[in-house]
Amino acid sequence: MLTRSGVFVRLSEAAGFIFLASVSLAAQGPGKERVIPFDRADAEHCKLATIAGRAMLETEFEGTSVAVGAPVAMANGDFSVFVVVRQDGPGKADVKPKDFFALYSDAAHTRFDFYDKLGEIMERQAQRDAMNRGIAGADQAGDPGTLPPSGSVSSSGMIRPPPLENTKKPDPNFNDVMRDGSGGPGAVGPGTTLKPEDLYLGPSTLRTGGSAQGFVYFRKPRRSKLHVGPQDGLYEIDIPVNGVVFRFN
C-alpha cells in the first residue's frame, strides 16, 4: 500500500504482490504487456531515490526509469502522484499519461483512471483570459481617455485591477498538492509562478536522453460512492511505457 505520508509501506502478506514479484522479468502471454513490479530485493533495478526534492520509488528496465512519489489524497477525492520518466538508454520512450491508472486501497481495489488536470487548468485559464479581455475592451470603449496606471475604470467609477496578462499561474490546488511538504517539480515552493505544463504531466514523447516529470491525477469512477479520506492511500500505481507496465504497490 502506498500512503500520502511519504512512507511507502510494503504489504508482504499480499499474495498478489508476491506473485507479481516472482514473475517480474518473465514475458507475459501473447498480446499482454510485461509487468515490472517494484521489488526492494532487486537492488540493481529498484531503489529509493530523491528526485526533485522528494522521496520516490524508482524502477529501471532496459534504459527506461520510472519513479513515483507518495500519493496525496485531494479534497475532492482525487489522488495526486508525482511521476518522473527518464530515457537513459538508446531509443525513445512514449509517455501517455492517459494510460496511467491506480488501484484504490479498498477491498475491491477500485480502479482510479488518469484525469487530465492539465487540460482542466488550461481551459480555466483560457476562460479567465477571455473574460478579462472582454472587461478591458468594454471599459476602453466606454472611456476613450487615458486609463490610470493602477487599472481600468468601470462605468461605476470604481478602479478595477488591470487584466491578467497571458501568463500561466499555479492551479488553485497548488497548496493542496504541496501540503506534504516535499515540494513539486524542481522542489519549488508556494508563491513561485509556474506554467501548468511545468506542474502537471501531459502527453509527451521522450527521445534519447529526455525526461518528463510532473503531477498526475487519478480519479475514482464517476458513479462510485467511495469515500476517500485525507489519510487514505493507493494500493497500486501502474505506469505503462513502451508496452511495459512499471508497477508500484
Q: Where are the domains of the chain?
A: 15-115+183-248, 117-166
Chosen CATH of 15-115+183-248 out of 3.40.50.720, 3.30.70.1880, 2.60.40.1240, 3.40.50.12280: 2.60.40.1240
Residue 155 has pLDDT above 60, yes or no: no
- Opening angle at CA 141, ends 138 and 144, nearest 5: 135
- pLDDT above 90 covers what percent of the chain? 39
What pLDDT is stored for residue 5 in this prediction? 52
Across the chain, what does the average pLDDT equal?
76
Cα gap 153→56, rounded to integer Å: 51
pTM over 0.85: no
